Amino acid sequence: MSGPEVAVFVSGVSSMGLEILAGRVVAPQFGSSIYTWGSIIAVFLAALSLGYHLGGKRAGTRATTDRLVRLLVGTAGYVALLIFFGDQLLLSTTALPLPSRFASLPAVILMFGPPTYLLGFISPYAAQLSRKEGIGEASGHVYALGTIGSIVGAFGTTFFLIPYLSVTYIYLTLGGVAVLTALYLALPEDSVSVLPAIGVVFLLIAATTTGALGYTARGEVVYETQTAYQELEVIDGGDTRTLYLDGQRHSAMDKSDPTRHVFEYTRYFHMPYLYASTPDEIDRVLFIGGGGFSGPKRFAAEYDATVDVAEIDPDVVRAAEEYFRADEYDINTYIQGGRQFLQETDNTYDLVVLDAYKRDKVPFQLTTREFMDLVTERLSPDGMAVANIISSSSGPASEFYRAEYKTMNASFGQVYAFPTSDTGAIQNIELVATKSDTRLTQEQLRERNQDREIGIDLADAIDGYTTDVPTEDVPVLRDDRAPVDRLLDSMVGQRYVIEETGSGSGDDDTNTTEPAAAWGDPALTVRDGGAVTRGQGLHIR
């Protein structure tokens, strides 16, 4: 390929690579809902279109190899600035008074609009410089090369860069490809353009190596990686080790007591032991969503029951085993999406814990009537399910919680709601569903809590027993109509409260409450996430 053709190909690689990376960059602050992805796609298309338009108007008088070099160097230079100041640029847009569904738009424009705009000039300039005969042949050839480059960028970023490199090094790779292409075009004739290109090379290297000291304001970074589904970090702060997914707290472990429940809401997973006729009748438990394996570890240590976990992200499982001591417990782990696992398994469970809902991006296929019917089919006659919902207990931000309550009611005999905080803020709400039509009262649960030895005192949890859950204005979620993103939209930017147990060795210590001001704040907690796709079916012991 000629120099201009190489430039077009690389522009396609870089633009698509940046577009896919943008989803990872803005997700910790704004979530990864359809509104975020819609904003990303629209901004990239708008920036490219503007570049194409202006580039086409100027190509007749300005299209030179030197200008192609400048455009590539400018793109790489802006990528270097994103490595240096990307976090500050992202945070600077959070205070803008926009409706929640448009909240990510300024960040995407500011961070990714300029380099994409510059890349848009390359195709019309290259068409002008093409050796092809005729405008149609030249333009068709150039845009075909750009599209092929976009395909390479999409596959390369999705299947190679994101799973194996951090965001910083992906920036370095994409910027490095652009600046190396600029050097290829400039050498040996255009020595004047070589110096800026070399300067950007050093800028990229300096940006990548600055500040990588293995420590953040959250604590010591023990491990970090980009998985196929999310950014994963393991961070130590004092005696607590925390799993961060996409920059938000997901699971935590007391390093001196690995089965203690650090987050208050994980204690509610034990509630079915009060609903069962006898605690001994819960023989087999399935957790859909593993995270740091807080619940599975405690169940494996506390009860004489088989504990299975379906977790779609193999890197999460590896982190749980290596850094959260999950491999020390008798837990059967399956690398599969929860719905796929239930469809394919022959096992019957006495309890299924649904812990695969994120605050910003809930896999809708784990919320619908059809899925809940599948759960009931895999349960024993007296089986139960617990769903960990992140929502508000009342007001507009409660729509997802109330819709899920209504949906589970359509599949189960009884559904019980337990908000984990007495505030109206966004919080974890635990839904306990039973196949039995007989409803237990709050007083009956209190009596069973006093009489039964289940290894944990649930008196505080029982106090949150809720009976009045209005559902008239929310739908039953179905596979063909599950407007989960719309139901979650009202939660964006609202205060999120998560309670933690005391720092002592037991779970019955005084609770502390940690509030967070807005979505994306490091204090927020997001429970087990990841969209359900075709799993590998790997069974890990």
CA dist 197 and 190 (Å) reads 11
Q: Which residues lie closer than 8 Å to 433 by C-beta, 6 or more apart?
A: 372, 384, 385, 386, 387, 408, 411, 412, 414, 415, 416
- For the chain, the straight-line distance linking the first and the last C-alpha, in angstroms and rounded, comes to 51
Q: Which residues lie closer than 8 Å to 60 by C-beta, 6 or more apart?
A: 128
Q: Is 333 helix (H, G, I), strand (E, B) or coil?
A: strand
Q: Are 28 and 107 a contacting pair, CB within 8 Å?
A: no
Q: Are 285 and 329 a contacting pair, CB within 8 Å?
A: no
Q: Are 161 and 170 a contacting pair, CB within 8 Å?
A: yes
> Looking at residue 306, what DSSP letter applies?
E
Element (H, E) at 266: none
CA dist 85 and 244 (Å) reads 21
Q: Is 10 helix (H, G, I), strand (E, B) or coil?
A: helix
Q: Are 226 and 167 a contacting pair, CB within 8 Å?
A: yes
CA dist 328 and 22 (Å) reads 37
Angle at 481 between CA 479 and CA 482, to 5 degrees: 80
Catalytic residue among 313, 355, 485, 507: 355
Task: Respond yes or no: is residue 463 known to be catalytic.
Answer: no
Q: What share of the chain is helix, strand, coil (3-state, %, to 5)?
A: 50, 20, 30
Q: Are 253 and 237 a contacting pair, CB within 8 Å?
A: no
By C-alpha distance, which of 288, 487, 496, 527 is closest to 407? 487
- Position 90: which residue type? L
Cα torsion at 511, 516, 517, 519 (round to 10°)? -140
CA dist 7 and 29 (Å) reads 33
CA dist 200 and 77 (Å) reads 6
Q: Is 499 helix (H, G, I), strand (E, B) or coil?
A: strand
By C-alpha distance, which of 169, 151, 145, 122 is closest to 21? 169
Q: Give the tokens for residue 423.
A: 């505030």
Q: Are 497 and 513 a contacting pair, CB within 8 Å?
A: yes
Element (H, E) at 1: none
- Catalytically annotated residues: 355
